[in-house]
Amino acid sequence: MCDDHFHGELSRRRALQIGGSAALVGMSGLFFPNSASAASAGADIFHGPRNRAEVAITFHGAGDLAIARKILATAKKTSTPITVMAVGVWLNANPSIGHEIVDAGNELGNHTYSHKTMTLLTLKESKAEVAKGKAAVTKAVGAPGKWFRPSGTLKSNSIIRAAAGASGYDHCLVYDVDSLDYTDPSAQAIVTRCMKTVQKGSIIGMHFGHVHTAAALPLLIQALQDRKLTPVTVSQLLRP
């Protein structure tokens, strides 16, 4: 699929080549949020507690609504709550989708306003991306969402954390299981990749807007259940 998101993800990967394997450093750090926001967000959240047999399936919220709704339908049919980190321009362009997500028992978060590569932005630009994304989530469902995920990078930096903190987000939510579904592999390849690295407390990164992702979701849910891992929302995963 050759859409704006696909090209954005390719740019993200090119940018990440600069950092190499350092993008995953810090996975053992703090994994649940502070009670109060600071001027700058704290450590990135890569995963939840490793002592509970739970995982969180998270989605980049953008792309074709028909595919998004197919994913939401699978989540509802299987009683699997998901967390959607929505892009602000997508929410604004599709006024009903926010409530479709949360009314079904899922969680909605902020994945910036226009999904730029945040590692290339100034502090002012980063603050605008976070703040406008927050405003879009608030407009969609009446609340700003508890979680922020930076775009175009697998982890935050000091500028991104400052921007997140300025909008009241304690941490940047990332993930420790990358499905690579935006590259459009087969549904089974997506599931196989996820199951190779998933463990208790994992946060899985996936994307709306890709047909193979929609086909993979029921297979992934079953594979997780077979491993005796229960999918929950991010907030549930990160509860104290």
Report domain extents, the chain.
Answer: 4-15+45-237
Mean pLDDT of 68-74: 98
Helix (H, G, I), strand (E, B) or coil at 24: helix
| Top-confidence residue, 102 or 34 | 102
- pLDDT single digits (tens) 182-240: 999 999 999 999 999 999 999 999 999 999 999 999 999 999 999 999 999 999 999 99
Do residues 47 and 203 lie in contact, with contact meaning Cβ atoms separated by under 8 Å?
Answer: yes
Q: What is the pLDDT of residue 29?
A: 36
State the Cα–Cα distance between residues 213 and 82, nearest whole angstrom: 14
CB within 8 Å of 124: residues ≥ 6 apart: none
Q: What is the pLDDT of residue 240?
A: 93
Query: Quick count: other Cβ atoms within 10 Å of Cβ 117?
Result: 16
CB within 8 Å of 156: residues ≥ 6 apart: 41, 44, 118, 150, 164, 172, 174
Q: What is the pTM of this model?
A: 0.85
Phi/psi-derived region of residue 128, left when phi > 0, alpha when psi is between -120 and 50, beta in every other case: alpha
State the Cα–Cα distance between residues 81 and 234, nearest whole angstrom: 9
Q: What is the pLDDT of residue 97?
A: 98
In 140-189, beta strands by DSSP E: 177-178
Separation in Å, CA 78 to CA 70, 81, 202 = 12, 9, 19
The CA-based diameter of the chain, rounded to the nearest angstrom, is 46
- The reply to whether CATH 3.20.20.370 applies to domain 4-15+45-237 is yes
Looking at the predicted structure, is the pLDDT value of residue 27 above 50?
no
Do residues 146 and 235 lie in contact, with contact meaning Cβ atoms separated by under 8 Å?
Answer: yes
Q: How confident is the model at residue 39 (pLDDT cuts 50, 70, 90)?
A: confident
Q: Give the gyration radius of the chain's Cα atoms.
A: 16
